[in-house]
Amino acid sequence: MSMGIEKKRIHKPEWLKINLGNNSNFSMTGKIVNNNGLHTICKSGRCPNMGECWNRGTATFMIAGEICTRNCKFCNTQSGKPLPLNPDEPRKVAQSIQLLKLKHAVITSVDRDDLGDCGAAHWAETIREIKNYNPHITIETLIPDFKGNKNCLQMIIDARPNIISHNMETVRRLTPVVRSVARYETSLSVLSYIGKSDIPAKSGIMLGLGETNDEIIETMNDLLNAGCYLLSIGQYLQPSPRNIPVAEYIHPDKFEEYKSIGLQFGFKHIESSPLVRSSYRSIDFMNIN
């Protein structure tokens, strides 16, 4: 690898022990998701918080199939040629959320660069169906960049989720190494467009890929300048041998330091610790003034 990414594999520290969970809520969530033929980023992304979240009866639903048109080196989602969109998926997601009795839901998706609108209309229909079946629910949408197409972004805004999130993933220098198609400036423009609406913009970054302290600070400032005031910061964990290796495991104290710095800079809410992922405790981002 180049640009600061180390090939050498390093051992996980003690603070990254994970509780996978196995109680009744965990089993029920998995059963409902499987019975409806749905996908979750919890499983496809091998999220370290799956046990905690599923035990609490919550999940992050991944729409538009399970095959991504991109091949980012940090991501464990299958890449290739996706199947056609399932027109019943918006209703099935909405009904599953109803069965789980969720008060707050997170929706994300694979990238669908094969579609003219990158799946934006399917996204909007899913949000509308969730609200139809669950009128009191709050929704966070973790969206792809839609190639920076503002008409696609406006479809999501018009569907009125409570938070629209789009991840920067990493710092400017490492973006071409870590992400296959997405560009740093494109992601900033997506967040800036959202930030100009009346819906809060949120983003997330991973640490441990070889970034420097100054680069993290630069990314924080870029996000704030784009009108993004909600942020999640977590440790990158290599999901499989084919993914890019971890360059460094960042101590929890450093995550606390970045949280403190970010709040001083002007972020309204930050979740920052080694096991934080984009949708982790997303309900805590609601009603942030």
Q: Is the pLDDT of residue 23 over 80?
A: no
Q: Model-level pTM?
A: 0.86
Amino acid at residue number 211: E
Burial of 49 (0-12, 13-18, 19+ CB in 10 A): buried
**What's the average model confidence in pLDDT over 99-120?**
92
Q: Is the pLDDT of residue 203 over 50?
A: yes
> What's the rounded Cα separation, in Å, for the pair 73 and 75?
6
% pLDDT > 90, the chain? 66
Q: Is the pLDDT of residue 5 over 50?
A: no
% pLDDT > 70, the chain? 81
Please say whether the beta carbons of 9 and 245 come within 8 A.
yes
Q: What is the pLDDT of residue 189?
A: 98
> Which domains does the chain show, CATH number per domain?
14-285 (3.20.20.70)
User: Distances in Å between the alpha carbon of 45 and those of 40, 110, 198, 211, 226?
Assistant: 8, 11, 30, 22, 27
Mean pLDDT (the chain, rounded): 86
More confident residue, 40 or 120: 120
pLDDT digits (tens, 9 = 90+) for 40-97: 555 544 555 555 555 554 668 889 998 999 999 999 888 999 999 999 999 999 998 8
Q: What is the pLDDT of residue 239?
A: 86
Please say whether the beta carbons of 52 and 107 come within 8 A.
no
Q: In what order do the strands lie in the sheet with 269-272?
A: 39-40, 60-63, 104-109, 138-142, 163-165, 201-207, 230-235, 269-272
Which pLDDT band, with edges at 50, 70 and 90, does 100 fall under?
confident
Q: E strands along the chain, which residues? A: 39-40, 60-63, 67-68, 78-79, 104-109, 138-142, 163-165, 201-207, 230-235, 269-272
**What's the average model confidence in pLDDT over 109-125?**
97
Q: What is the pLDDT of residue 1?
A: 42
Q: What is the pLDDT of residue 201?
A: 97
More confident residue, 38 or 201: 201
Which pLDDT band, with edges at 50, 70 and 90, does 289 fall under?
low
CA 244 remoteness from chain centre? 18
